[in-house]
A and B are shown apart, each in its own frame.
Chain A
Amino acid sequence: MTRQQVLDLYFMENRAKLIDLAAFLDRVDRAGGEADFRLDAFKQAMRELGDGEPGRAQKVLLSLSDPTTEPIAKAPGKGAVGAWPGKS
């Protein structure tokens, strides 16, 4: 596809997602109380969008991932929260 075709096909959809993202951050700002590590991780991952280099999806995913390599002693539960808290 040409860039023009990609824009024709996906611009409106991603414009909406961009505004949703902005509204989400505004909503977090308006809310009371303390945020947890997920907000910092989210903002860090957003920086991957702005470097103008390809592979942004991969970089965002890596930014939110546990980078350690050793198995943990015991599963703390079953769920995942979407960002790595910075310790295993």
Chain B
Amino acid sequence: MRYIEPHGHMVSRTTDDYIKMATAGCACVSEPAFWAGFDRSSVDGFHDYFCQLTDYEPKRAAKFGLAHYSWLCINPKESEDVTLASEVIGIIPKFIDRPNVLGIGEIGLNKNSRNELKVLEMHVDLAARTNELILVHTPHLEDKLKGTRLILDVLKADSRIKPERCIIDHVEEHTVQMVLDRGHWAGMTLYPESKCTGARACDILDNYGHERLWMNSACDWGVSVPLAVPYAALEMRKRGWTAEQIDGVIYGNPIRFMSQSPKFKL
């Protein structure tokens, strides 16, 4: 079995996790910029984080035979401070041409506030001006439905954005249809306590098709499982999926989406 982890916050994980993922067949990880669990106090903190994502972490992943790609942004959890967000978005162009950067992400909304929406629009504008792919975080739990609708409206309102170049992540049963209907890709995040389980992800694939969906572990410093994607592959196998069908979802689909960036090579 081979697979791609298209959404993993590897800076939060140990080398043991890299070993387990590589052993399970992981060929590549893609790492969106994330909240650190605390608010960074200045743009300098983001500068250092972007250096970590684009310089240090690819070298660490390479020690375990894994290609490493990244996405840059200020995460929605830190978007209430529009002044700081503007400063952070201002330094992203310095990093955007680095060889492992695939696009802008994970942008989106957290609590669906006006400032978060403003910062989302600034990120979308940056992606449009630089012709970058977009990876979107949708809010948690009770905020997901409303946030997903608001995000889709922002993307639709910018005529420069091509829907097929945006992946809307963390979809569940109540949001997947609206995302696919707008022509975007949809990501399913496999978490033990929230978002999606492997079984539900398989149900969603059964109900909505395999064409524009990927699965990820979104492993970070919280409750998460770095091997969630291969575990979901076992779920597919138990249901009688063929090896080709499984490979198409966990390996082929991330490649099809990320290959829209000329930097993505595997």
Contact = CB atoms under 8 A, between A and B. Distances in A.
Check if A and B associate. Answer: yes
Interface of A: 1, 9-10, 55, 57-58, 61-62, 64-69, 71-84
A32 to B, nearest CB: 26
Interface stretch (B144-152, B179-187, B246-254): B144-152
| 3 tightest A-B CB contacts, nearest first | A75-B111, A65-B145, A80-B141
Interface string B67-109: 0000000000100100000000000000000000000000000
A62 B111 contact: no
B203 A78 contact: no
Contact of B239 (A9, A66, A81): A9
Given A72-B112, A73-B114, A1 B240 contact: yes
Contacts of A84: 142
Interface size class of B (residues with CB under 8 A): 20 to 34
B199 A71 contact: no
Given A61-B172, A81-B142, 10 more contacts: A1-B240, A57-B203, A58-B174, A64-B141, A64-B142, A71-B112, A72-B112, A73-B113, A79-B140, A81-B141
Contacts of A9: 238-239
A73 B238 CA distance: 47
Contacts of A58: 173-174
Contacts, number: 81
Contact of A75 (B113, B142, B149, B199): B113
Contacts of B35: 78
B180 to A, nearest CB: 14
B116 interface: yes
Contacts of A65: 142-146, 174
A61 B145 contact: yes
Q: Interface majority SS on A: helix, strand, loop or mixed?
A: loop
Given A75-B80, A80-B141, A69 B115 contact: no
B117 interface: yes
Nearest to A13: B199
B30 interface: no
B141 A82 contact: yes
Contacts of B2: none
A72 B203 CA distance: 33
Interface string B203-246: 10000000000000000000000000000000000111000000
Given A9-B238, A77-B111, A78-B110, A71 B150 contact: yes
B6 interface: no
A72 B112 CA distance: 6
A75 B173 contact: no
Given A68-B146, A71-B114, A61 B174 contact: yes
B230 to A, nearest CB: 18
